[in-house]
């Protein structure tokens, strides 16, 4: 959908392990920072879209997590919409905030994603991901794994899936093996994604992991499920990110010095693909490009959903950054590294910044906004003009259940 909305302020906690901080405390920290960045008070917010995906499973906080977090800040009366959409939760909240601003329903909207996944009982964390499939279909997850395994020519390991690791790591493993066999993608190229993002993450004080890793170190790390080692898999995390979205009229009233405009945001769900159909990611990207009036060649930087290292390579292809099967080459030639032609995940991505699922999408918007305003500090992308955020989540069949692609531009 074509948008006419502006980002007035952003805020974000550091991602990581926050066992001593409450869920609403994390949300409050990000929201207060976003309000201060926008130069407004909480009373100026007219509507809030509050994204949390796993609070019910991990903390037992169901149904009213947004109201709980906002009440702690003294914010009430306004409409509060609680959003849950797998790993695309807060990008969905952002999409909805921008949609309502564009429609003229409100002048000031808040989009916030907040999550706590760390728990003394690790099975609670795994359970948060186990629910992101069709749980009423007995063959749902097993069927998806078997289909992916057939494509990769592999056997399904159902003994450890969801017990010693998130079941999604098995999904990524099988997708990776299929891609390697079909296109010749190598483990070194996949490890190169983590190495690149570890360099980017080392420059981001809010990233969960800030140690630079080499390709060799990534390959030598503990194996999770072949061909993935631990650093090739995004870590769970705690954290929050918030975005204040305003109308064009309000942006002028606030006198934003470095406005960031939302050109488009496409929210799509998975579907039963027929032969020749586009993947969910490609379908969403095409909608966003068309609505924004730009193409992959116009992008200055990208924040995409690298839930695993090979996911980044495959997403290059979804987004039209390269042809199918050519994603690995972009890693080898440095195209997507800071200083390259199209830097990707300069925040460190999910692999190094961390993946508190309900907050990840909004965090992408925070990074793009700061980059487009020239506030990226050591990881600043030179002359950043247009940025794209890609965020997907859940699984039905063999593709994402939900995907959001948003395109932002420097407003000057």
Sorted by sequence, the CB contacts under 8 Å of residue 103 that are 6+ apart come out as none
Instruction: Summarize the chain as % helix, strand, coil (round to 5).
Output: 40, 20, 40
CA–CA dist 119, 192 (Å, integer): 31
Instruction: Name the E strands within 299-385.
Output: 301-303
CA–CA dist 111, 130 (Å, integer): 26
CA–CA dist 199, 206 (Å, integer): 14
The DSSP bridge partners found for residue 207 are none
CA–CA dist 167, 188 (Å, integer): 24
| Residue 193: C-alpha distances to residues 183, 331, 381 (Å) | 17, 7, 18
Q: Is 45 in a helix, a strand, or coil?
A: coil
Buried b (16+ CB within 10 A) or exposed e, 343-358: bbbbbbbbbbbbbbbb
Is 112 one of the catalytic residues? Answer: no
Is 322 one of the catalytic residues? Answer: no
Q: How many Cα atoms occupy the beta-carbon half-sphere of 176 within 13 Å?
A: 28
CA–CA dist 361, 284 (Å, integer): 15
Instruction: Name the E strands within 101-254.
Output: 108-116, 223-225, 228-229, 238-246
**Catalytic choice (18, 87, 112, 119):** 87
Walk across the sheet containing 301-303 and list its strands.
Answer: 80-83, 47-51, 108-116, 238-246, 2-12, 260-269, 399-410, 386-396, 301-303
Q: Which two tokens stand for residue 296?
A: 């992959």
**Catalytic choice (119, 179, 355, 390):** 355
Sorted by sequence, the CB contacts under 8 Å of residue 352 that are 6+ apart come out as 194, 197, 198, 200, 201, 204, 207, 208, 209, 210
Q: Which residues are known catalytic residues?
A: 87, 355
């Amino acid at each position: 959908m074509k948008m006419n909305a502006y980002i007035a302020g952003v805020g974000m906690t550091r991602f990581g392990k926050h066992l001593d901080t409450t869920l609403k405390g994390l949300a409050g920290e990000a929201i207060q920072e976003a309000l201060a960045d926008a130069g407004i008070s909480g009373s100026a917010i007219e509507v809030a879209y509050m994204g949390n995906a796993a609070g019910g499973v991990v903390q037992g906080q169901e149904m009213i997590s947004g109201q709980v977090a906002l009440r702690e800040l003294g914010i009430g009366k306004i409409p509060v919409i609680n959003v849950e959409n797998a790993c695309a939760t807060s990008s969905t909240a952002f999409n909805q905030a921008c949609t309502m601003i564009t429609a003229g329903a409100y002048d000031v909207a808040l989009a916030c994603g907040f999550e706590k996944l760390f728990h003394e009982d690790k099975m609670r964390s795994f359970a948060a991901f186990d629910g992101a499939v069709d749980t009423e279909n007995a063959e749902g997850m097993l069927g998806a794994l078997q289909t992916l395994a057939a494509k990769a020519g592999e056997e399904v390991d159902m003994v450890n899936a969801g017990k010693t690791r998130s079941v999604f790591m098995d999904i990524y493993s099988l997708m990776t093996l299929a891609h390697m066999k079909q296109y010749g993608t190598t483990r070194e190229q996949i490890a190169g994604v983590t190495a690149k993002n570890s360099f980017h993450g080392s420059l981001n004080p809010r990233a969960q992991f800030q140690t630079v890793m080499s390709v060799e170190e990534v390959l030598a790390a503990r194996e999770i499920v072949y061909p993935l080692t631990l650093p090739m898999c995004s870590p769970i995390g705690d954290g929050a990110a918030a975005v204040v979205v305003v109308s064009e009229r309000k942006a002028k009233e606030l006198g934003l010095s470095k406005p960031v405009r939302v050109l488009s945001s496409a929210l799509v769900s998975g579907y039963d693909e027929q032969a020749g159909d586009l993947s969910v990611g490609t379908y969403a990207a095409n909608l966003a490009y068309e609505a924004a009036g730009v193409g992959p060649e116009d992008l200055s930087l990208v924040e995409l959903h690298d839930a695993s290292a090979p996911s980044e390579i495959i997403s290059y292809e979804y987004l039209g950054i390269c042809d199918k099967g050519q994603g690995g080459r972009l890693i080898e030639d440095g195209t997507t590294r800071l200083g390259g032609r199209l830097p990707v995940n300069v925040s460190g991505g999910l692999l190094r910044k961390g993946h508190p699922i309900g907050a990840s999408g909004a965090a992408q918007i925070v990074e793009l906004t700061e980059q487009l305003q020239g506030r990226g500090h050591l990881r600043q992308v030179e002359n950043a003009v247009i940025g794209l955020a890609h965020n997907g989540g859940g699984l039905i069949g063999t593709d994402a259940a939900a995907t959001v692609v948003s395109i932002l531009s420097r407003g000057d």
